A and B are shown apart, each in its own frame.
Chain A
Amino acid sequence: MRRITTLIAVSTLAVGAATAQDSNELSIDGAPMVTEVAAPAHMENVDTIYSGWRFRSVETQSLEMDDFDNPAFVFVDKGIDLFDAVDGSEGKACASCHEDVAEFAGLRTKLPKVQDGELVTMEELVNGCRTERMGAEPWKWSGGDMTAMTALIGLQSRGMPIDVAIDGDAAPFWEKGKELYYTRVGQLDMACSNCHEDNYGVMIRADHLSQGQINGFPTYRLKNAKLNSSHGRFKGCMKNIRAEPYKEGGEKFKALELYLASRGNGLSVETPSVRN
């Protein structure tokens, strides 16, 4: 059994060394972004948090540094059109009530948040306006119209630090999200933490494991050439570990979104980011 003890010691060392993000600095069209900052006090096992940008190749990184190169801006433009487009029985567009989308600066940094006892995400705020004020159909959580709109609205907060509340009304939702983060699921029996807390900075096959930060969502992925919602990404992770995903927009993923957002408190909003 001596050999086994030795191996445990070695693997513990390896975990300690898992900090192989690069030291590149991100500025977008000249505006500096915080991609590295002291971890929020609630994080027990991590000292420093890093944007996923720091784990990507130089080629992928460069696509996010200039909005002209960033493929997500095709969809942001679509969001601008949708913002002005009249839809639904009331004959209204977003712009009928919200004169300038810039008024949403700062909103992304605070979401999800609790309103009237419910945890509310940006997708729900958008659909709330659509169904209650415009008399329009709600958009699908991860559909192209929704991700275009959440990218446009999120962009208004780009460069501002993520700052979601985790105490007060938010506490029970946050606790639920934290529990999900550390719960192993699927045939491969893994939790978010196994990859994104214990092994970030390490290569899993050709993929460089990041901390799983969500400060850049919706994110343009080179893999599928479109904007991806955070819930869509959670779903993909769960399928990878052969687990039955929770529902996009459901209470579980909303709680997880809050918890993950809180692990990024202090990082800049990078919406819309570019990743693999």
Chain B
Amino acid sequence: MKRALGGAAIIALCASIGAANEVDPSDVMFEEGVVNASLTGQAGDAVSGRKVFANRKQGNCLACHTNADIPEQSFHGEVGPTLDGVADRWSEAELRGIVTNAKMIFEGTIMPAFYINAGYERPLGKFDGKSILSAQQVEDVIAYLMTLEDE
């Protein structure tokens, strides 16, 4: 029991460190649509990012993008470009910019900004003042996208 508690304490500690280094959505630094610095001050986790990517309540990226790396999910959308080989086409910093707020590069795009918490109109109550993804989830998705290279 002691060990389990110790583990929980470490996780809690990590979480608080993460939160302390987290960049608030309003403070994200864009340079020509690109975001160079990690939003959490640390690298994302690609395994977790794959889950966030597919989860309909989180990234829900398959709504609009095809991705051959997730064949277990049927019906990939085709509103946006395929993400097969996306890591060959974009740098990590560019992907961070696009996921955080794609409108900073692609004016008028349909793609939602995943890390803003203001600037949208009439949000449904429970989403008011919130970003679609957390800083950690964005970093995890970026880490996952960076694994999508063409063979």
CB-CB < 8 A to A202: which residues of B? 77-79
B110 touches A199 (CB 8 A): yes
**What per-residue 1/0 map shows which CB atoms of A233-247 lie under 8 Å from chain B?**
000001100111000
Q: Is B113 interfacial (CB 8 A cutoff)? A: yes
Closest chain B residue to A189 by CB distance?
B120
Q: Is A187 interfacial (CB 8 A cutoff)? A: yes
Given A188, A205, A243, which contacts B75 in the complex, CB threshold below 8 Å? A205
Given B64, B76, B113, B123, which contacts A243 in the complex, CB threshold below 8 Å? B123
- Of residues 114 through 142 on chain B, the ones whose CB sits less than 8 Å from some CB of chain A are 119-125, 127, 130, 132
Q: Is B74 interfacial (CB 8 A cutoff)? A: yes
How many chain A residues have a CB neighbour from B under 8 Å?
31
- Of residues 178 through 228 on chain A, the ones whose CB sits less than 8 Å from some CB of chain B are 183-190, 194-195, 198-199, 202-206, 209
Secondary structure class of chain B's binding surface, majority of residues: loop
Give the total number of A-B pairs whose CB atoms are below 8 A apart.
82
Q: Is A125 interfacial (CB 8 A cutoff)? A: no
Docked Cα-Cα span, A195 to B127, in Å, equals 21
Task: Give the Cβ gap from B90 to chain A, nearest Cβ, in Å.
Answer: 7
Closest chain A residue to B75 by CB distance?
A206
Known: A187-B132, A189-B112, A206-B74. 16 other contacts (CB 8 A): A11-B106, A185-B120, A186-B121, A186-B127, A188-B120, A190-B112, A202-B77, A202-B79, A203-B76, A204-B63, A205-B75, A206-B75, A209-B79, A242-B124, A243-B122, A244-B122
